Structure 1
Amino acid sequence: MIAIYFTLTLLLGFLGLYTLKSWFIPLNSCPLPPGPPRRLVIGNLFDFPKPGSKEWEHWLKHKDLYGPISSLVTMGQTVILLNKPKVAYDLMEKRSAIYSSRPQAVFSADLANWKRQVTLNGDASVVRTHRKYMTSLIGSKNAILNLHPQLDLGARHFLLQTLQQPDSLIENIRRVTGARILDMVYGYKVEPSGPDPLIDLADLSGKQFSSAAQTGTWVVDSIPILKYLPAWFPGAGFQRTAREWGHVLTTLAEKPYAFVLHQRSKGKDVASYVSRHLDALDGPVAPDEEFVIKWTAATMYGGGADTTVSALSTFFLVMAQFPDVQRHAQAELDLVVGPRLPTMNDRPNLPYVHALIKEVMRWHPVVPLGVPHMATEDDEYCGYRIPKGAVLIANIWSFTHDPEIYNEPMSFNPGRFLQHEDGIAPECDPQKLVFGFGRRICPGRFLADASLFLTIAKSLAVFDIAKGLGEDGKEVDLPAGFRPGIISHPSPFRVQIRPRSGCAQMLIGSVEAEEPWLKGHSKVFDDIKL
C-alpha cells in the first residue's frame, strides 16, 4: 500500500511539472496554432480520438474550426495538426532539415522497442543508413525493373488462387503479397495453401504495429512517467502488452534472418536482399552491419505487405461498388491488350487503368494520417510557434478529400486524373500526398506502384467483380466503412469474383502448368530455434 501511495505522489508531482511547462510561454514568443481550449493539468487530453474511432474523421473538424494548422497540448507535449497539403509541403518538404525526425512515443518506440524499425526511428544518421540499404532493392524505378518478373509471377499466382478460392479474397491477397516480399527479401518461399508460419507471424506483428503507433491511444504516451509503473500495478496492463508485442517484433526480425543463415550454411540460399548484403561484406559480418541488414529486412516486409493488402482490398471493394468504372477499365484493356494478360510494358497505353489506381489511392489513403513527424528545433510558421519536440500529424485523408483540390471528392471518379479534350488539366496526383513527405517519404513507393498495377490490371482483364449474394439470392449492400489504425483496411465485405470468359479462365490456369507455386519453406522455418 505504501508503494502505491508513493507512486501516486510521484505521478501528481510530475503532472504538476508538466502543467507548469506547458503553461509557461516566454512573453516575446509567438502563440501556438489555434486549437480547442486546454484544461488545467491535463490540457487537451480528452480532445484526442477515443480508442477504436476513425482518427482521420475526428481530426477533420479541426480544419473547419481552426484552419489549415491547429494544435493541442497535453502533459507538456505539443501536437500540431496539418490540415492542408500546402502546410505539409511547407514544413515537411521545404524545411525537412528540422521536420524529419519521429516522435519517440513511449509505448511503441520505448516499451515495445519499435524504434528498431526505421519507420519509427528518429535518429537522422540511423535513418540515412537504413534507407541507403533499402534503396538497393526498392528505392528507385530502375531497381524495381529488376523485380518485374517476380511481381508479374506473383500477380498471376494471385489470379489462380482467387479462381480456385473466390470466397477467400483477403486471405489470397495477404498470401500472395506476403509471398512476393518474403521471396525478395529473404528468399523464403511461402506455402501455396494452408497456414504459413512466417505469413502468420508477420500479419500478427502488422496488426500490433497499427495499434501501437496510433497517436493518443496509449495513456502512457501522454503521461510518460507511467512507464515506470510495474506491470502488476492497477492500470499498467500496457506494460505486459508492450513486452509481448516487442517479443513478436523481435522474432519477426531474428527468425527470417536466421533462416537465411541456415540456408546459406546448407548451400541452398537463393538471391535475396539479405543474401546480397551478406555476400557484399568482406569477411565476417560485424554486429552493427548485421543489425542494419536484419532490421531493414524486417522493415521492408512490415512496411510493404500490409499497406498493399489494404490498397488491393479497397480496389476490389470499389469495383463491386462502381461497376461502370470496372467496365470502362475492362473495355480499355480489351482494346489495348486483347486476349492476353497485361504486363508492365502495356502501362503507357492504359491511361484509364492507371487513373483508376490513382483514384483507389485517393479515395481511401492506406495510411490516413501518415506517420507522425517531430520538430527538432523551435520554429515559426505563419506567425505561429512550433516548439522543439512538437509532434506533427498530416491528415492525408483530409488532403485527398479537400474540395478545393478535388472536384466532388466523395465520388469515385478515375476520370479526374485524365487529360480532357477541352483543356481542363488533370487533378492533383494523389501519389504526391499518400506516400508521405520530405526525407521520410515511403521508400517502397515504387514497389507498391508496380505491384498494384500488375495485380489490378490482370484482375480486371480476367475477372468480373460484383456485390456478394445473400441467402435470398439478392445482392448484398457493401459496407462503406474503413477500420481505424495507422494502416486502415476496409471493413469486412463480400464480393463475387468470376472469370469473364472461358478464354480468361484458360489464361488464369496457364500459370499452373508454366510456373506452378511450389511447396514452401515452412517446415525449415518451424525447425529454426533462436
Structure 2
Amino acid sequence: MPKPWVAICLGFVTFLLWQLSKIGRRPSNYPPGPPTLPLIGNLHQMPTKNAHLQFQKWAQEYGPVYSLMLGTKVAIVLSSDVAVKDLLDKRSSIYSGRPELYMGQEIMSGGYRPLFMGNNAVWKMVRKLAHGVLSVKVSRSYVPYQDLEVRAMLMGLLESPNDFLNHIRRYTTSLTTQMAFGYRTLESNDENLLEMFEFWLQSAALLDLYPIARVLPDFLLPVRRMGREYHKREMKLFMKHFINARTQLKSGTAKARYLEPISQDIEQPCCAIDLLRAQKEHGFSDELGCYLSGSLLQAGSETTAVILIGFFQAMLVFPDVAKEAQAEIDRVCGNRMPDLNDFPDLPYIRACMKESLRWMPATALGVPHAATQDDSYMGYHIPKDSALILNVWAIHNDPKQHPDPRRFNPARWAGDNQNSAQAAVNPDPSKRDHFVFGAGRRLCQGMHIADRSLFLAIARTLWAFDLKRQVDKQTGQEIIPDVDNIKDGLFISPMPFVADIVPRSESRAAAVREEWGKVAGLLDEDMQWKTVPEGLKWKDYEPLDDGNEDLLESLS
C-alpha cells in the first residue's frame, strides 16, 4: 500500500478512536455527576430497582442539577423545585420536547402516543384537543361518573374488604373508561398499561441509547418484534372502543359537548365522542383519535390508583391521621355521606389529599423532557437534545422543604388552599405542593379531575370505614406495611399489603348500601348507564373563570 494511503488510514482510525473515546465521557462544562466509563458512561450505574432512591442519593451528592452520561445520550436531572420552575416552566418554549423514544413511541405506539410526542405541530393540536375535553368547564360533566364509582368502591369494600386493592383499581379504571370511551369497567383493570411501560423500560436501553443497533434485523432484536406485537394489540383495543363511539354518534344514541356550553343537556359525555366531533374540523386519523382517548384512560387510571393505594397504606402506618380526619368529617357531615360541596369545609381532608400526592408520587421520575436547543443554567451547559428528568421523589422528600419527609403529615399543608392547578402555576416554586402531574407545557390537563377523584374517595372511605392493621395469627402482632417496599416502573406503587377494613358502625354500613341503591337504579342489566343524573356539580367556590386555565394555557 502506498505510504500516503497508510497515513490516511491511520488518520481515519485515529479519528474514529478519538470519536469513540468521547462517547460516555462527561465534558467539563456539563453539570456534575457520578464518574463515567468509556462508551457506556453511567449506564453501568443505572439501578435495576428502586431507581427513585438512587436518583435521590445522586441529588444529595451532586446537587439540584446533575448529569448522567448514558451511552451516546445525556440526561440532566432536576432535583429542586427552583430548577424545575426556572427551566421547565419559565423556559418552556425550549424544554417541552421529548427525547427520542424509539421503542416506546415508534415501535410500541406507532408514533401516536401523545405522552411521548415531541413538541411538533401534531402534539400542539393534540394539546388543544385535550384542553377541549378536560377543561374545568367540560369536566364538570364527569362528576356523575366520579360520584357513582366512589359509591361502587365503597360497596366493594363493604362486601369483600380483603380485595381493597382491586376495588381501588376498578374505581379509577372505570372512571377513566367512562371518560375516555363511555363505558363502565366492572372488574379490576387489565394490565395493558403496566405491561406497556414495564416492557418499554426493560427493552428500550439498547435501541434508544445506541441507535446504530436499529439496523439489525428483527430476528436479532426480538424485543422490537415483541414491541410491534404489543402495538397491534393495543391499537385493536383502542380502535374497537373508538369505532363503537362513532357508531353511537351516527345512530344518535350518544351526545357530546365538545367546545359547547356546559349548560346544554348531556346524556353520557366521553372524550371519544368529543374527538369524533373535532375530527371533522381538524382532519386527524382514526389511529391518532383512538390513541388520544386511550392515553387518557391509561394515564388517568394508574396515577390516581397509586395515590389512593398509598393513602390506604399511610392510614395503617399513621393511624392518628385517620382519627383526626374522621373527627373533621363527623363534625361537618355527621351521618350524611360527604360530597363535593363539602370541599371547602374539610381542610384536613384536602391536606390528606395533598400529602398523599407528595408521599407516594406515582411518577417518581416523571417522563423526560428534551431540550430543543443549547442552553446554560447555573453556569452549566445543557446541550440540545439532552433529556431533562424531573426528579419528583427527591423534590417531594427534600427535608429542607418537607421536614421528616417520610412521615405522612397532612398538617404541613395547613392554610394551603390551592388546588393542584393553582399550585402548579404559582410563581413561587416553594409554594408548589407536588409534581405528580409534570411541569411546563407537559402538565397534565386533567389535574382538577384527579383532585376531585381523590377528595371524594378519601372523604367517603374515612366516613364509612375504619382502616385497621391486620393481626398476625401466629405472633399476635399487628402487621404494619413496609413503606419502603415499592414496586418499580415508570409508575411506582406500594407492593401489595394487607388491611382490615371494617364499617365504622352498622348505620354507616347501611348508609353505604342505601347510597349505592340511589344510583344503581340508573344502570341497566349490564351495569351500564341508562341515564346520567343532573345537578352533581361544584358550587360557586370553584369559579369557571378564575384565571387558572389561562395561566396553564400560557405555558403551552
TM-score by length of 1: 0.85
1:74 Cα deviation (Å)? Answer: 2.9
Looking at both structures, which has the greater relative contact order when contacts are Cα pairs under 8 Å and sequence separation is at least 6?
1
Closer/same/farther in 2, CA of residues 190 and 266 from structure 1, 3 Å limit: farther
Closer/same/farther in 2, CA of residues 237 and 430 from structure 1, 3 Å limit: farther
Closer/same/farther in 2, CA of residues 241 and 468 from structure 1, 3 Å limit: farther
* CA RMSD between the two structures: 2.8
User: Over residues 339-372 of structure 1, what are the superposed CA-to-partner deviations in whole Å (9 max), with x where a residue is unaligned?
Assistant: 1111111110111111011111111211001110
1:55-94 mapped onto 2 (5 Å cutoff): 55-94=51-90
Mapped partners of 1:239, 1:17: distance in 2: 31
Q: Which moved more, 1:80-89 or 1:38-47?
A: 38-47
1:64 Cα deviation (Å)? Answer: 2.3
Closer/same/farther in 2, CA of residues 49 and 439 from structure 1, 3 Å limit: same
Closer/same/farther in 2, CA of residues 521 and 165 from structure 1, 3 Å limit: closer
1:492 is aligned with what amino acid?
P
- The residue that corresponds to 2:479 in the other structure is 476
User: Over residues 443-463 of structure 1, what are the superposed CA-to-partner deviations in whole Å (9 max), with x where a residue is unaligned?
Assistant: 121111111001111101001
> Tell me, what secondary structure is at the counterpart of 1:433?
coil
1:210 pairs with 2:197: yes
Closer/same/farther in 2, CA of residues 471 and 248 from structure 1, 3 Å limit: farther
Percent identity over paired residues = 31
Which of 496, 502, 521 is residue 498 of structure 1 equivalent to?
502
- The residue that corresponds to 1:101 in the other structure is 97
Mapped partners of 1:18, 1:208: distance in 2: 38
Mapped partners of 1:17, 1:244: distance in 2: 40
8 Å CA contact 2:24, 2:40 repeated in 1: no
1:253 Cα deviation (Å)? Answer: 2.2
Closer/same/farther in 2, CA of residues 247 and 497 from structure 1, 3 Å limit: same
1:20 Cα deviation (Å)? Answer: 5.4
Q: Name stretches of at least 5 consecutive residues in structure 2 with no aligned partner.
A: 1-12, 255-267, 417-428, 529-556
Which of 9, 33, 38 is residue 40 of structure 1 equivalent to?
38
Closer/same/farther in 2, CA of residues 295 and 23 from structure 1, 3 Å limit: closer
8 Å CA contact 1:157, 1:511 repeated in 2: no
Which of 143, 146, 154 is residue 148 of structure 1 equivalent to?
143
- The residue that corresponds to 2:392 in the other structure is 396
8 Å CA contact 2:24, 2:41 repeated in 1: no
Mapped partners of 1:313, 1:257: distance in 2: 30
1:276-425 mapped onto 2 (5 Å cutoff): 276-279=274-277, 288=284, 290-419=286-415
- The residue that corresponds to 1:440 in the other structure is 442
1:381 Cα deviation (Å)? Answer: 0.9
User: Over residues 209-262 of structure 1, what are the superposed CA-to-partner deviations in whole Å (9 max), with x where a residue is unaligned?
Assistant: 3325549963222222222222322xx332233123222331232121122234
- The residue that corresponds to 1:111 in the other structure is 107
Q: Which moved more, 1:224-233 or 1:470-479?
A: 470-479
8 Å CA contact 2:316, 2:480 repeated in 1: no
1:181-220 mapped onto 2 (5 Å cutoff): 181-191=176-186, 199-200=189-190, 204-212=191-199, 214=201, 218-220=205-207
Mapped partners of 1:169, 1:380: distance in 2: 48
Closer/same/farther in 2, CA of residues 31 and 215 from structure 1, 3 Å limit: farther
User: Over residues 390-411 of structure 1, what are the superposed CA-to-partner deviations in whole Å (9 max), with x where a residue is unaligned?
Assistant: 0111111000110111111121
> Tell me, what secondary structure is at the counterpart of 2:408?
coil
1:15 Cα deviation (Å)? Answer: 9.5
8 Å CA contact 1:354, 1:453 repeated in 2: yes
Closer/same/farther in 2, CA of residues 17 and 294 from structure 1, 3 Å limit: farther
1:268 Cα deviation (Å)? Answer: 3.7
> Tell me, what secondary structure is at the counterpart of 1:324?
helix
- The residue that corresponds to 1:486 in the other structure is 490
1:442 Cα deviation (Å)? Answer: 1.2
Mapped partners of 1:400, 1:323: distance in 2: 22
1:438 Cα deviation (Å)? Answer: 0.5
Which of 455, 460, 476 is residue 453 of structure 1 equivalent to?
455
> Tell me, what secondary structure is at the counterpart of 1:295?
helix
- The residue that corresponds to 1:3 in the other structure is none
Mapped partners of 1:404, 1:450: distance in 2: 29
8 Å CA contact 2:470, 2:499 repeated in 1: yes
TM-score by length of 2: 0.81
1:150 Cα deviation (Å)? Answer: 2.1
Mapped partners of 1:466, 1:120: distance in 2: 41
Closer/same/farther in 2, CA of residues 60 and 277 from structure 1, 3 Å limit: closer
Closer/same/farther in 2, CA of residues 286 and 419 from structure 1, 3 Å limit: closer
8 Å CA contact 2:464, 2:509 repeated in 1: yes
Aligned length: 488
